[in-house]
Amino acid sequence: MSTATALKTHLTISDARVVYPDGTTTVTALDGVSLSARAREMTAIIGESGSGKSTLLSVAAALIAPDSGDVTVAGERVDGTDDTERARIRREHIGFIFQQPNLVASLNARDQLLLTDHIRGVRGKELRNRARRADDLLDRVGLGGFGERRMHQMSGGQRQRVNIARALMGSPELLLADEPTSALDHQLSHEIVELLRSLTDDLGFATVMVTHDRGLLHVMDQVVEIRDGRVLEGPERQ
């Protein structure tokens, strides 16, 4: 970054190691990986299939605790926590975009964003505030006026935009995405990554995404390439 402003670090992973049991033996999926992501920064994780990208994202997402190493998300320690504590950290600090938008076909875009509020039984003024937030986010992802539109009436690109807006409903400090453009064509992939870039800049979270598409790396502040569970040495922040 060229500015002198000190940017908050929203994700720190230090020397993380993840070993999966595999029959009678084990697979070392991460073998001492370190990574940090700051506010308004976009980080790409690249590497061949089986190199450990999804495992690294699962560690960042507080879905799994590493077998060793330190992980901090938005100032909170993740390593050494139990499932309940990690669920809270995810809810309070992390937005996650899946490869295939996991959206309810019969719901309209606004209700899609409000689904967890509906499940929690949010009502009245609080629900109206959440609905305003949903509409603001739909605006920001380029779907202003599409709140009543149902998922089956939307294109793949529009559904991915709903997916992004939904991930931002909890005001996360950290936005994680596992190959968010892999189901989209070239043009739409660029549009989605440019959108993530402007949301990252405007809303001030840190974005970390796995991608196979080297054509998308020009918008990134940092590219982390992993091979066999290790970060390849190379230029750090761009």
Contact residues for ligand ADP, defined by CB under 6 A: 20, 22, 27, 29, 47, 49-55
Pair of tokens at residue 186: 């070239």
Residue 44, amino acid:
A
Name the minimum Å distance from CB 178 to ligand ADP.
Answer: 8
Name the binder of 47 from Mg ion, ligand ADP, none, CB < 5-8 A by kind.
Answer: ligand ADP
Q: Least CB distance from residue 227 to ligand ADP, whole Å?
A: 9
CB of 20 to ligand ADP, least distance (A): 3
60 or 154: CB nearest ligand ADP? 60
Q: Are 190 and 158 in contact (CB under 8 A)?
A: no
How far apart CA 152 and CA 191 sit, in angstroms, is: 21
One-letter amino acid at 160 equals: Q
DSSP annotation string for 198-214: HHHHHH--EEEEE-S-G
Interacting partner of 69 out of ligand ADP, Mg ion, none (Cβ under 5 to 8 A depending on kind): none
Nearer to ligand ADP, 167 or 226 (CB): 226
Looking at the Cβ atoms of 51 and 200, the one nearer to ligand ADP is 51
Positive/negative CA dihedral, 41, 47, 49, 51: negative
Shortest reach from residue 55's CB to ligand ADP, in Å: 3
Neighbours of 44 (CB within 10 A): 22
